[in-house]
Structure 1
Amino acid sequence: MVRTPLTPEERLRGERLGALLRAARGERSMAAVAASAGISAETLRKIETGRAPTPAFFTVAALAGALGLSLDEILGRCAAEPAVASTGAPAPVPAGVPLIA
């Protein structure tokens, strides 16, 4: 099975997740947090360093529980940057571009 390459947004989201988990872990060891979440320390290391930027939902949920984070907090802090609010106005049509072919 061939995996499709990750988009830059997916990679960035994975980096945010890793940074959030590292910060939440604080002084606790990777081994202790991983054991509490029921995953390997190697898996946690890969997530924290961005080498596994799209971990399984249940892995993230287990880590959230082990670190005292809510899934809403993780989503809010790792989701894409908010887009600039739209004015609701249609985009301008460049001069000279026909509207009907």
Structure 2
Amino acid sequence: MVRLPLTPAELERGQRLGALLRRARGERSILDTALDARVSPETLRKIETGRVATPAFSTIAAIAEVLDLSLDEVWAEISRPEREVESTSTGRTTA
């Protein structure tokens, strides 16, 4: 099976997902979080760094549960339009 390259939008969503999980994890270790979510620490590390931009739903659901994030929160973060992300990250507004 050949996997198609990810689009820039998919890569951007993966980066936003990783950033959200890192923020939600706070001072908690990757090891503890991963073990509680029943995923490997390497998988969590790859998701947080954006190296796995499209993880399985069940993986994200398990990590979100451990971090006390609702799936609605996760979806809201990763589905924001790119222009909104740019204005949020730069402090500028787009109109």
TM-score (normalised: structure 2): 0.84
Deviation at 1:37, TM superposition (A): 0.4
Give the superposed CA RMSD. Answer: 1.2
Residues 6-45 of structure 1 show CA distances to partners (whole Å, capped at 9, x for unaligned) of 0000000000000000000000000000011000000000
- 2:66 partner letter: A
Identity of aligned residues (%): 60
C-alpha distance in structure 2 between counterparts of 1:21 and 1:36, whole Å? 14
Correspondence for 2:14: 14
In structure 2, the gaps of 5 or more residues are 84-95
C-alpha distance in structure 2 between counterparts of 1:49 and 1:61, whole Å? 18
SS at match of 1:4: coil
C-alpha distance in structure 2 between counterparts of 1:81 and 1:59, whole Å? 24
SS at match of 2:4: coil
Paired residues in the alignment total 83
Q: Which one has a bigger Cα radius of gyration?
A: 1
| Shift >4 Å, 4+ stretches | none
What are the equivalent positions in structure 2 for 1:71-90 lying under 5 Å apart? 71-81=71-81
- 1:16 partner letter: R
In structure 1, the gaps of 5 or more residues are 84-101
TM-score (normalised: structure 1): 0.79
